[in-house]
Structure 1
C-alpha cells in the first residue's frame, strides 16, 4: 500500500515546525508559525492530496526555482533549519514533477456515477 503524499508532507512539515521552534528566536518562531498555519490549512482541505500538489507546484515547480530557494534559505537560516526546509522542498520538487494520473472512464461508468450521485438516468 502506498502512503498518500499529503501524509508524508504532513510529517515533514511537523519536522520543520519542531526544528524552527527549537531555535528559540523570534525569527524562527515566525517561520514555525507560518508552517503551523500551512499545516492547519492542509488538514482542513477536502482533498489534501490535490492541495499538496498545488503548493508543491507553487513553491518548487522546477529544479531552477528549487535551487534559488535553497540558496536563499542557506543565507537566511542556520544549518539545522536549512536541512529541515531542504527535506520539505525536495518533497515539493518531487511532487511537482510527478505526472498526474488521469483515469478515463467509460460512458457506462459515467452514467453509473451520475445516477448514484445525482439520481440522473441517462
Structure 2
C-alpha cells in the first residue's frame, strides 16, 4: 500500500526534475509542488491528509455527471 512517504519521495523527484531544467516555465510548477510537499510534511497525520486529497481529486461519477448537466444548462 502506498503511504505518504512514497508520495513525498515522488514530489521530491518532480521538484528536482523541474529545477534541473533551468527554464522559467517550470518555476510555477516547481513552487506548486514545493507547497504540496510542505503541506504534507506539516500535517500531523500525513496519511489521512493524502487520503483526503486523493478523494477530493479523484473524479466521482455521480458528481461529474451533475456538474456536466449544470454545465450544459
TM-score of the two chains, using structure 1 as the length reference: 0.44
Higher helix share: 2
Deviation of 1:58 after TM superposition, in Å, equals: 2.5
> RMSD between aligned alpha carbons?
1.8
- Structure (1 or 2) with the larger CA radius of gyration: 1
- Counterpart residue number, 2:18: 20
For 1:6, which of 4, 7, 10 is the aligned residue? Answer: 4
Aligned pairs, how many? 60
DSSP-derived class of the 1:46 partner: coil
Per-residue Cα deviation, 1:89-120 (whole angstroms, up to 9, x for no partner):
xxxxxxxxxxxxxxxxxxxxxxxxxxxxxxxx
In structure 1, list runs of 5 or more residues that go unmatched: 65-122
1:41 aligns with 2:39: yes
Runs of 4+, deviation exceeding 6 Å = none
Alignment of 1:21-100 (within 5 A): 21-59=19-57, 61-62=58-59
TM-score normalised by structure 2 residue count = 0.71
